[in-house]
Amino acid sequence: MEVILSKAVESVGFQGDLLNVADGYARNYLFPRNLAIPASAGAKKNLLAQQEQQKQQAQKRYEADVAIAAKLKAVSPLVVEASVGDDGKLFGTITPKEVARLLEEKSGVTLDRKNLTIGRALNRIGSYDIEYRLSTLVKAALVIEIAAAAE
Domain identity same for 118 and 89: yes
- Main-chain dihedrals φ then ψ at residue 146, nearest 5 degrees: -100, 125
Q: 54 and 107 share a domain?
A: no
User: Domain check: are 73 and 144 in the same one?
Assistant: yes
Residue 80 pLDDT > 70, yes or no? yes
Cβ-based neighbours of 35, under 8 Å, separated by 6 or more: 5, 6, 7, 9, 29
Same domain, 75 and 11: no
Q: Domain end: 63, 83, 113, which one?
A: 63
Whether the Cβ atoms of residue 59 and residue 125 lie closer than 8 Å to each other: no
Mean pLDDT confidence for 67-74: 90
Amino acid identity of residue 142, one-letter, is: L
My answer on whether 127 and 59 are in the same domain is no
Same-domain pairing of 123 and 95: yes
pLDDT digits (tens, 9 = 90+) for 100-124: 898 888 888 888 889 888 888 888 8
Report how far residue 34's alpha carbon sits from residue 116's, in angstroms, rounded to the nearest whole number: 40
Q: Which residues pair with 116 in a beta bridge?
A: 132
pLDDT value for 27: 95
User: What pLDDT is attached to residue 55?
Assistant: 94
Answer yes or no: do 7 and 23 share one domain: yes
Measured in Å, how far apart are the chain's first and last C-alpha atoms? 78
Q: Name the residue range of residue 127's domain.
A: 66-148
Question: What's the rounded Cα separation, in Å, for the pair 140 and 151?
Answer: 33
pLDDT at 113: 86
**Domain limit, last residue, from 12, 38, 63:** 63
- Is 47 found in the same domain as 97? no
Please report the pLDDT score of residue 151 as a whole number: 63
pLDDT averaged over every residue in the chain:
90
Distance (Å, whole) CA 70 – CA 47: 35
Question: pLDDT tens digit string along 2-51?
Answer: 999 999 999 899 998 999 999 999 999 999 999 999 999 999 999 999 99
* Number of compact structural domains in the chain: 2
Residue 59 and residue 109 in one domain: no
Q: Quote the pTM value.
A: 0.71
Whether pLDDT at 70 is above 70: yes
pLDDT in tens, 123-147: 888 899 999 999 888 999 999 998 8
Bridge partners (DSSP) of residue 130 are: 118, 142
